[in-house]
Amino acid sequence: MTTYQPGIIYERTPKEYADPFLSWAREDKAFFAAGACHILADMFMQLHYGQDFERIHIKPHNTAPGNHVYVTDGTWAFDFNGWTKETELLAEYEKAYVAKHPGWKYDRVVVKDDLETFCKKNNHRLPWQFPFLPWERAYKYIKQFNGTPNA
* Residue 61 identity (one-letter amino acid): H
What residue ranges do the domains of the chain occupy? 37-140
Q: Do the Cβ atoms of 110 and 41 come closer than 8 Å?
A: no
Helix, coil or strand: residue 113: coil
Identify the sign of the CA torsion 66, 118, 51, 110: positive
- State the pTM of this model: 0.92
pLDDT confidence of 1, banded at 50, 70, 90? very low
CB proximity list for 93: less than 8 A, separation 6 or greater: 4, 6, 7, 8, 58, 66, 68
Give the model confidence (pLDDT) of 100-122 as tens digits.
999 999 999 999 999 999 999 99
